[in-house]
Structure 1
């Protein structure tokens, strides 16, 4: 049965991007799955590192479908630009192959439960014995040790335990998860940061080290000023809905045909807003002239603004606010995000050809480099597609590779 036609089918194929050369000297062994670890490894792959995605042969891993369909949007977006090697690490022959790969690698990234790598024989001490320069990056749910170390970690659990769900949502409605996997994605970004620090330090010492982060730590760090608010002031941050915790008016306002974000961050911007709404009498009103006064009278501020903004369209308000320098912006659904001219200008969406789905468009790296930018050049490889080439790279001959395949090791 053929797949339904999409808008991409009618579009001309995009010219092939040139691979990035920023990190071509690095080899990364990617043992990760789901999201946090793949997010980390994707950064290195997009900047030109040789990232080898290592996964179990079919039928070995009972949870191999956890990440979704291989040709699905999530897998395609997370695992582009990587080579694929199947390897059964539960077999001694598979472990031997992996350790031989470690001898040629710079970084190993894993997000097993903390005890799994020791049981498999691929903990940091074992890897360091084979290659003292190796960097092991471990991403867990709750840390490599401690009372919760062996618990399974998932993004929503970390959002709850890290405080995010009680500072998100409308007051009184109960805890609310963020609409994206923020703990997973942040853990991946922190892991990549740790790896880059360890690589730079290795230039000095000549030695690798063990980089560790967790979903829980990363979620708490992402809460940032809200976490500091409690630690320093002893205040437990409440849910504020769409309002900023202390700036007013900063939040969502309804217009005649939708909603916009309004962001008045200072007293000068408040006066500019009063000009835009043709209410100069409010600019120096004793209840609203300063930020503390507006915060104290937040409900009154919104009560004044709500009927004013409801009388005109979003597009009109955005034009009027921009004219006087008041920060504001549209609130997009995802289709509108990618239709925005600034998003198109930033080249956030990048396309590659796929052997079964045709041209697929993925989310590019949000980092610009003037000489060695990231590039999306290849879709997720078929499982095990690069076994022969990868093993030949580290000295296996064709007969040895055939034997490993016959024995179910690869």
Structure 2
């Protein structure tokens, strides 16, 4: 249940209206809560605040905040469009969740709503002496908040949508997703081992990407119906209606149609991949940025070299986990889960760069240095993949680089 709430909240955060809506609710509450002070002893203590001074401040807020909000939206949309053009359209979901920009827009709109509600309440005699004083203090707080937020937002909007900033945002999201996968690759279930005798296949009922697997629901069903489940998909997998999403072994007579329905309802399918539980998607997004940078129209090998550094950092997350390896608790003992092979990770990140940067000696040298670096990780699969892709990248370069001197230098870097 907690996992579903987190996923739903993350989807809400991707909508530009969500945080401003929440701030608007808080601003309405702030404008009306000042009235609660009128029935207390504050009436005899607080100084008298002229209504004209409060109205002047509220007029300034109402007149300026709407204009600034429109300006903020325009600037953010321009930044989002720039991110899609210079990086990759897949980065849009990350850029749009930028906290500083969303908080700034929310503060501006919230201040505007506050000023309107407070002005209407004052015109109708809603506040007495204490209420006016509290309202005056809240208005000053809003002014200070707006000024500080605007200064921070101006600094942020100058970088939002810029390629380097977008790369940092994508890398941060990829780090979070990949770290979670490395710590718990089996989703607290059992690994797939050996054959699965008498397993009946469960076909999907929709076409799209697996976004989330409700392991609690599958375990509960398996316990209730006395069956074993072997999943054949993970978040990020594209499935279709005839795809075998799982295999089940039933210990007694059971309604297979009911089993199929429950398994499908526990595997959430969507039109696009999500970064939350898909460790490969962040890596693929970074690689897409590198491929665009290496295109003839862009010709920006420096960005591709920067991306290789980001990918190297991400793959070194396995090094930290190897040093601090801990056994994962098995919470779902009725479910077997497949693992993503290291070869798949290397295919995602290094095959496109090896192809698109094959004729650029600087990119290929940086790539070979990355393979040498990754080879030092105490992980058998990573070592094997590093050797394999070191040879693959060199073979790619050998096909297009004509100068023997460059090839000799490159070959010396190969594993």
Alignment TM-score, normalising by the size of structure 1: 0.25
Whichever structure has more strand as a proportion of its residues is: 1
Higher RCO (C-alpha under 8 Å, 6+ residues apart): 1
Whichever structure has more helix as a proportion of its residues is: 2
Bigger Cα Rg? 2
